[in-house]
Amino acid sequence: MDIGTGLALFGSAKLIEKLLGPTADYIGEGIKSLAKKRTNNLKNIFSIAVNKLGNKIETQGAVPPKVLKGILDEGSFCDDFLSAEYFGGVLASSRSGVSRDDRGAALIALISRLSTYQIRTHYIFYHIVKKLFDGSGINIGITEGRNKMETYVPLSVYKTAMEFDKKENIGVLMTHIMVGLAKECLIGEYFSMGPKEDIEKRFNKATESGLIFQPSSLGTELFLWAYGKSDFLIQDFLEPVNQFEIDAKINIPLGYKKTKE
């Protein structure tokens, strides 16, 4: 099977070759053995990456082989729409003219360690942070800045955004989510979750049970890469000129608040 035939499994062979650059040569005979579902998942991720690149796909560039390997190995098993957006964003972000810039491989490994619950929470949290602190001038790259960005999310807001159903044990899941995000340094180490009386010890204006967290440098970096913005400094996240569209499938109600004014 020639390269063109292999690439065609994922959509337009010409577009995929533009996306990957010379790395497209790594897609060979073994690709035809993938199950149809895995092929469709990859096709979706490649399509997302192409869309995020827009006109940049016409410029000279390539995706590092290590990044492609991560997409083929991990992304092919991804059928969650938001996880696919993350994989696609990192794939798009990884395309550059610098052959040794394989930072995306580390982020793909990180995404592969996250559950769909953790990825969705990361997405929700950073959209909330953007809404609350946009244009504040706070330096998210330093500890002092991140401490100023501590955020309270009421449980009702979080449950709506996560779309939990009756079969899901929210208490168990919230522990899995928050501990996991903190372990991966995607939120600050010192977070809180629980009933109103516990949350009030940290934020006396809490209106109900909920969560308190601080953003992190790595969490911001992952968010930017998921949007195809690997060329942004993490400080650029809070620049008002830089906006990040929220997926129409996710509703984040108002009610979240800064814990420090």
The predicted pLDDT at position 106 comes to: 97
- Residue ranges of domains in the chain: 3-113, 116-258
Of 93-97, 114-118, 127-131, 149-153, minimum mean pLDDT range = 93-97
Q: Check residues 226 and 12 and name the one with the higher pLDDT.
A: 226
CA–CA dist 114, 109 (Å, integer): 9
DSSP codes joined into one string, the chain: --HHHHHHTTS-HHHHHHHHGGGGGG--GGGGGS-HHHHHHHHHHHHHHHHHHGGGGGSS-B--HHHHHHHHHHGGG---HHHHHHHHHHHHHH-BS-TT--HHHHHHHHHHHS-HHHHHHHHHHHHHHHHHHTT----TTSHHHHHTT-EEEEHHHHHHHHT--TTS-HHHHHHHHHHHHHHTTSB-S--EEE-HHHHTTT-TT--SSEEEE-B-HHHHHHHHHHTT-TTS-GGGGG-TT---PPPTT----S--EES--
Q: Which whole number is the average pLDDT over 95-104?
A: 91
The predicted pLDDT at position 23 comes to: 81
Does residue 32 surpass a pLDDT of 80? no
Q: Check residues 235 and 28 and name the one with the higher pLDDT.
A: 235
The predicted pLDDT at position 31 comes to: 65
Does residue 1 surpass a pLDDT of 50? no
Give 170-227 pLDDT, tens digit per residue: 999 999 999 999 999 999 999 999 999 999 999 999 999 999 999 999 999 999 999 9
The predicted pLDDT at position 4 comes to: 47
Q: Which whole number is the average pLDDT over 55-73?
A: 91
CA–CA dist 38, 249 (Å, integer): 23
Which range has the top average pLDDT, 15-19, 42-46, 172-176? 172-176
Does residue 28 surpass a pLDDT of 70? no
Alpha-carbon torsion angle 146, 148, 153, 154, nearest 10: 150
Average pLDDT in the chain: 91
CB 207 within 8 A of CB 255: yes
* pTM of structure: 0.93
Residue whose entry in the numeric block shows the structure tokens 């796909």: 57
